[in-house]
Amino acid sequence: VNKKIDNFKNLVGENWVITDSDTLKSYLEDETPQGSKVKPVSDIIVVKPGESEELSKVMREANRRNIPVFVRGGGTGLVGGCVPTKKGIVVSMDRFKDIKVNDESLTATVGAGVTLEELKASVNKAKLSFPPHPGDETAQIGGLVSCDAGGASVVKTGTMRNFVMGLEIVLPTGETIRTGGRLVRDNVNAGKLMNFFIGTEGIFGIITEITLKLQKSQKARGIMIAPFDKKHNSLEVVPKILKSELTPEGIEYAERKTIELVSEVGREISPFEGGEAFLLLMFSEPNEEALYSGLEKLRKTLKKFGAKEPYFAETESEREKIMGIRSEFYPSLKPEMYKDLDICVPVDKTRDFISKLDEISKEYETYLHPYGHVGDGNLHVHIMQSENWSEEKYSSLEEDIYRTGTELGGTISGEHGVGEVKKKFLYLNLDKKSRILLKSLKKTLDPKNILNPGKVID
């Protein structure tokens, strides 16, 4: 072991190998809720390369000596993707911190360890915008790209993949490739290889640098809350909203009971009032004319589908208040949450999905707090702790929910990914040939299976 530690110290410098067991603790977990938590091994060291050349050497060494490598970004994942489960090393990307914003080509080139918060700050400073906002701002860009993260503002501009123009990648065997650049279109380099590394959760290579596409900043923002007495009305109107003149950047769904829980933990919840279900519509337009001319028509559409008088937040402080309530959903549920699922169904199937969930809830005598990105069909479903439930009962409920989503043409993961937690349900979405194909691609790139072993398809 000491020999191993010394080798890595030689490669990245003495200060950048962590072996002290107290400090190590913070590198063992991610944010997976308790019922799905992955048990880490304790026998690991953390290696923190400062640049891709060092990382390349680390991977060559690991590959030579068959040492499992678990890559860690911000550790905000919800499926145990970065949790080390074999004796080996954790590679932390914390030191990949460069940010270069180019306001002429509307691009940002950033190190994998740059956090979403840091990126947003630099982009705002350049008076540009980066539309995706996949949740926790301490997430790192390398992880967000590896997992093709989504979030609440995907309706107009899509997930992370749509914003990636170039990547630098260190392969499991230690070679470094650069693919793409500051190019909107690249039918050679980015076009042939880059997307293979996006959304595959780091099993094919480690992303070290990312060039992202930026956009002009949007000047007119607004948030609308539409309460509905009937859940199904709020779900049926979603495809109509997508066809309305004004496309929201996000459409979120929540039910009364979830709002009540947020209130119970001490949060002021107005203006989420007077409905069984709510749609939260977020707008982002280049100017107020565009926003307001579309808004009136949208109000009419909402009313036609049974919405009560919607509340429109216009000022920055009103918007912040509402986004604050929205961001309290998860932490309010968290203490009693056992599992957090992220099924995505076609946008015209959310009504059927919520109806089936209601049946399942009744059957299991629980409430699942379904909420989230209904504009994309991506709903978070939460299995809460229940007294006297066996592990089998939780698992059976989980599988029933996945099955229901899948039967409606959905996927078991809209955004959290597979990691370690969902491997056992992969069969619901990936046919056998696809699984075999992914495994043989993995074998081609990582013949000794040292990079993130045990994750996704292993």
* Distance, CA of 339 to CA of 62 (rounded, Å): 34
Of 76 and 332, CB closest to a second copy? 76
CB of 270 to a second copy, least distance (A): 31
Q: Kindly state the tokens that stand for 42.
A: 């304790």
- Position of tokens 């360890």? 113
CA distance 72 to 140: 9
Which DSSP state fits 203? Answer: S
Q: What are the strands of the beta sheet with 69-72, ordered from one edge? A: 17-18, 44-47, 88-92, 69-72
| 335 vs 409 by CB, closer to a second copy | 409
Q: Would you say 189 or 386 has its CB closer to a second copy?
A: 189
CB of 269 to a second copy, least distance (A): 28
Q: How far is the CB of 423 from a second copy (least distance, A)?
A: 10
Phi, psi dihedrals of residue 424, rounded to the nearest 5°:
-70, -15
Q: How far is the CB of 332 from a second copy (least distance, A)?
A: 24
Q: Coil, strand or helix: which one is 232?
A: helix
C-beta closer to a second copy: residue 93 or 149 = 149
Q: Which C-beta is closer to a second copy: that of 70 or that of 425?
A: 425
Q: Tokens standing for 449?
A: 């299976």
> Considering the complex, what minimum distance in angstroms separates the CB of residue 152 from a second copy?
12
Q: What is the DSSP string of 234-251?
A: HHHTHHHHHHSSS--SEE
CB of 77 to a second copy, least distance (A): 12
**Toward a second copy, which CB reaches closer, 386 or 429?**
429
CA 342 to chain CA centroid, nearest Å: 10
- CA pair distance 275, 5, nearest whole angstrom: 59
3 state DSSP class of 413: strand
Report which DSSP code applies to 41.
Answer: P
**46 vs 412, beta carbon nearer a second copy:** 412
* DSSP reduced 3-state for 32: coil
The least distance separating a second copy from the CB of residue 247, rounded to whole angstroms, comes to 7
Q: Which is nearer to a second copy, 121 or 437 (CB)?
A: 437
312 token code pair: 């429109």
Cis peptide before 271 (omega within 30 of 0): yes
Identity of the residue, 27 or 197, whose beta carbon is nearer to a second copy in the bound complex? 197
Our CA angle for 137, 141, 147, nearest 5°, is 100
| Shortest spacing between CB 195 and a second copy, in angstroms | 4
Please name every residue paired with 164 in a beta bridge, in sequence order, or none if there are none: 212
- How far apart, in whole angstroms, are the C-alpha atoms of residue 358 and residue 348? 17
CB of 349 to a second copy, least distance (A): 8
